[in-house]
């Protein structure tokens, strides 16, 4: 069957699943990722997909490794092709070392385009024998599990749990599909020249397997979020869905608003009433929210906005990834007022920074943004359980007294925030300029004082800004700068380069820019910045704040995230 078949020897194996929307590619990803993790393997997965309910061609990459791995690679070691379009769709990533597992009857003439080693796997025929062609994706799960020598009982146990909401017949058919596929994969493994041999660890079995979406939502929970209002818009919709799904058990009200304007105004109103609220959206939705952002600023009402970036302008590429909305968030909203922008680089940061966003919003009474993107939100990997020992929900609400001044002029610029019904004071707010009591005013001298009061917060916000993370030697000659979701890719790329004089600096807070940023940059002989956009938006922000112009840039804006190899290759080129 697979005589002479040679699998890649190394610490990791890259598996890519590819087929049309509606063929169950995501089902295979979910099953395999969990089965690999339960078997003790490190696992990372990420997906790219077209904006279609059915049709088009989608792919998912699953990396299985003996060490923690959290970044996508371009290399394909094993390709599961569910239809003939798959070969062309990922053709640029297929090499002579790629092993292609597919149904020859389904691929048809596309078999002639195959560059790697082709193995005919009768996915459809086996599925039809079981009862329906729809089971071919579960046959594929079994084939991969058999190739890795995973215990059949473990596979069966998880498949049964995954389909537990279905009828007994459907559960049994899926179990049979997984078993038939497993037997095929096991025979292929036994006949191969060399077997897949990736190190495992029992510690991994007890870790959690999370996506970026789930981490953001759980971070909101840990931040005390008890109200979310959003209008569905990929890739941010999953955060709303997760909190809605767990709303009853965690005391969260989830409101699917009629549009983004309503969503942000609902969230502002919730904060006014004493809740801790979040709005989750994407770039196009945030464009509608900008008037609400200014309202939040004038009312000095906290608000947390999660924005999952995708390519624009307009609808752009609705299901793809890009870091193109930094300037939108930085300048969105009319007038001058302070804000905070956090940009998590991995799943752990997505949790901890989202949690912190609620405390920062509450403390400074400003809009706080959590800036993610499709790549981060749709990436999944195993990680240690979050450490909750240092997590606190820091509520800043005060009990009001008679004569309470909602916008009292203070040295810090932060006025005591009361809520209606908590104390004896009147909590008056106004979207026009107002006096200390919250009543509308056109006193021009007072207007200046109120603007200065709001802007005063920026200084203390800078003191509390989360500093960048330097990874590598402190006596670097080359410094690679990145922000947000490029973190893990850049780390893997830099680790793979020879020499000990290169480090990378990851920013998880991009505004206000942390103090000391210029000091890091001035130490380097060469600075290279990596951004998933066309105009190098973060480099422009750095120049604006430090006067330092980063000339060497690695940019990508075709709708896909970076691969480790392409960053490494471009770094070598720029360094040399």
pLDDT digits (tens, 9 = 90+) for 31-70: 999 999 999 999 999 999 888 877 789 999 999 999 999 9
Q: Could you give the CA distance from residue 399 to residue 404 in angstroms, rounded to a whole number?
A: 10
Count of CA atoms in the C-beta half-sphere (13 A) of 349: 23
Q: What's the residue count for the chain?
A: 576
Scanning 406-473, the segments in alpha helix (DSSP H) are 444-463
* Whole-Å CA distances, 34 to 45, 61, 121, 350, 374: 11, 14, 23, 21, 21
Residue boundaries of the structural domains of the chain: 12-206, 209-383, 397-464, 469-575
429: nearest Cα among 445, 442, 441, 440: 440
* Whole-Å CA distances, 18 to 32, 117, 125: 14, 17, 19
Q: Could you give the CA distance from residue 541 to residue 549 in angstroms, rounded to a whole number?
A: 10
Max intra-chain CA distance, the chain: 87
Tokens of 103: 């149904």
In DSSP terms, 15 is beta-bridged to 62, 78
409 by DSSP, 3-state: which?
coil
Q: Domain 12-206 is in which class? A: alpha beta
Render 82-118 in DSSP notation, one character per residue: SSTHHHHHTGGG--TT-EEEE-HHHHGGGGGG--SEE
| φ and ψ of 372, to 5 deg | -120, -165
Q: Could you give the CA distance from residue 45 to residue 22 in angstroms, rounded to a whole number?
A: 19
Tokens of 542: 């750095």
In DSSP terms, 48 is beta-bridged to 59
Q: Could you give the CA distance from residue 140 to residue 180 in angstroms, rounded to a whole number?
A: 9
Q: Does this chain's domain 12-206 share its CATH topology with 209-383?
A: no
Pick the CATH number of 209-383 from 3.40.50.970, 3.30.70.360, 3.30.1490.20, 3.10.310.40: 3.40.50.970
Per-residue burial over 193-219, b = 16 or more CB atoms within 10 Å of its CB, e = otherwise: eeebebebeeebeebebbbbbbbbbbb
Which residues does 254 contact at the CB level (< 8 Å), separation at least 6?
Answer: 228, 229, 240, 243, 244, 247
179 by DSSP, 3-state: which?
helix
* Whole-Å CA distances, 485 to 376, 490, 573: 6, 10, 23
* Residue 268 host element (H or E): helix 260-272
Q: Could you give the CA distance from residue 286 to residue 268 in angstroms, rounded to a whole number?
A: 15
Scanning 273-388, the segments in alpha helix (DSSP H) are 283-299, 326-331, 347-364, 374-377
| Residue recorded with tokens 């092993």 | 99
Is residue 436 a contact partner of residue 405, using CB atoms and an 8 Å limit?
Answer: yes
Give strand ranges (E) for 183-283: 208-211, 227-230, 253-256, 277-281
Question: In this prediction, what percent of the chain has a pLDDT beyond 90?
Answer: 91
Is residue 150 a contact partner of residue 195, using CB atoms and an 8 Å limit?
Answer: no
Task: Give the per-residue SS3 of 19-38.
Answer: EEECCCHHHHHHHHHHHHHH
Is residue 82 a contact partner of residue 140, using CB atoms and an 8 Å limit?
Answer: yes
Which residues does 21 contact at the CB level (< 8 Å), separation at least 6?
Answer: 49, 50, 52, 53, 54, 55, 56, 58
Q: Could you give the CA distance from residue 444 to residue 189 in angstroms, rounded to a whole number?
A: 80
43 by DSSP, 3-state: which?
strand
- N- to C-terminal Cα distance for the chain? 47
Render 528-545 in DSSP notation, one character per residue: EEEESSSS-HHHHHHHHH
pTM, two decimals, is 0.96
Q: Name the CATH architecture for the domain at 469-575.
A: 3-Layer(aba) Sandwich (3.40)
Tokens of 367: 């809009």
Enumerate residue ranges in the chain where pLDDT < 50: none
Q: Could you give the CA distance from residue 507 to residue 343 in angstroms, rounded to a whole number?
A: 7
Q: Could you give the CA distance from residue 357 to residue 338 in angstroms, rounded to a whole number?
A: 14
In DSSP terms, 21 is beta-bridged to 55
Q: What angle do CA 535, 539, 545 make, to 5 degrees?
A: 130
């Amino acid at each position: 069957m697979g005589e002479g078949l040679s699998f890649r020897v190394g610490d990791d194996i890259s598996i890519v699943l590819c087929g049309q929307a509606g063929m169950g590619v995501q089902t295979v990803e979910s099953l395999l990722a969990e089965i690999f993790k339960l078997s003790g393997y490190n696992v990372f997965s990420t997906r790219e997909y077209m904006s279609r309910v059915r049709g088009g061609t989608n792919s998912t990459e699953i990396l299985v490794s003996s060490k923690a791995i959290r970044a996508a690679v371009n290399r394909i070691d094993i390709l599961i092709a569910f239809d003939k379009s798959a070969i062309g769709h990922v053709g640029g990533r297929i090499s002579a070392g790629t092993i292609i597992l597919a149904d020859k009857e389904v691929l048809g003439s596309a078999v002639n385009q195959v560059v790697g080693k082709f193995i005919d796997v009768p996915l459809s025929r086996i599925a039809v024998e079981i009862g329906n062609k729809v089971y071919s994706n579960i046959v594929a799960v079994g084939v991969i599990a058999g190739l890795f020598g995973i215990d059949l009982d473990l596979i069966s146990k998880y498949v049964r749990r995954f389909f537990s909401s279905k009828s007994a017949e459907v559960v049994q058919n899926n179990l049979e599909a997984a078993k038939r596929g497993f037997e095929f994969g096991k025979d292929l493994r036994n006949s191969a020249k060399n077997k897949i041999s990736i190190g495992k660890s029992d510690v991994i079995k007890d870790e959690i397997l999370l996506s970026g979406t789930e981490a953001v939502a759980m971070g909101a929970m840990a931040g005390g979020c008890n109200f979310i209002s959003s209008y569905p818009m990929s890739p941010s919709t999953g955060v709303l869905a997760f909190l809605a799904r767990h709303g009853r058990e965690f005391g969260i009200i989830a409101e699917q608003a009629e549009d983004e304007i309503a969503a942000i105004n609902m969230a502002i109103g919730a904060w006014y009433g004493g809740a801790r609220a979040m709005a989750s959206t994407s770039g196009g939705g945030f464009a509608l929210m900008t008037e609400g952002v200014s309202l939040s600023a004038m009312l000095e009402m906290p608000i947390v906005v999660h924005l999952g970036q995708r390519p624009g302008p307009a609808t752009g590429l609705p299901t793809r990834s890009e870091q193109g909305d930094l300037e939108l968030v930085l300048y969105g909203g009319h007038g001058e007022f302070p804000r905070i922008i956090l940009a998590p680089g991995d799943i752990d940061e997505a949790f901890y920074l989202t949690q912190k966003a609620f405390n920062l919003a509450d403390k400074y009474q400003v809009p706080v943004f959590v800036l993610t993107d499709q790549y981060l939100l749709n990436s999944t990997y195993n990680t240690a359980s979050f450490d909750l020992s240092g997590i606190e929900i820091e509520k800043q609400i005060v009990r009001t007294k008679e004569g309470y001044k909602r916008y009292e002029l203070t040295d810090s610029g932060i006025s005591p925030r009361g809520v209606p019904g908590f104390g004896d004071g009147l909590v008056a707010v106004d979207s026009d300029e107002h006096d200390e009591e919250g009543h509308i005013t056109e006193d021009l001298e007072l207007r200046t004082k109120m603007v200065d009061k709001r802007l005063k917060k920026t200084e203390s916000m800078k003191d509390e800004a989360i500093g960048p993370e330097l990874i590598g030697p402190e006596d670097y000659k080359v410094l690679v700068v990145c922000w947000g979701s490029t973190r893990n890719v850049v780390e893997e790329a830099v680790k793979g380069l020879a020499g000990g004089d290169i480090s990378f600096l990851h920013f998880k807070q991009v505004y206000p820019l942390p103090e000391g940023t210029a000091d890091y940059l001035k130490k380097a002989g060469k600075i290279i910045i990596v951004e998933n956009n066309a105009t190098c938006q973060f480099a422009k922000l750095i120049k604006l704040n430090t006067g330092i112009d980063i000339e060497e840039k690695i940019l990508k804006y075709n709708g896909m995230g970076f691969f480790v190899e392409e960053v490494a290759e471009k770094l070598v080129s720029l360094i040399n």
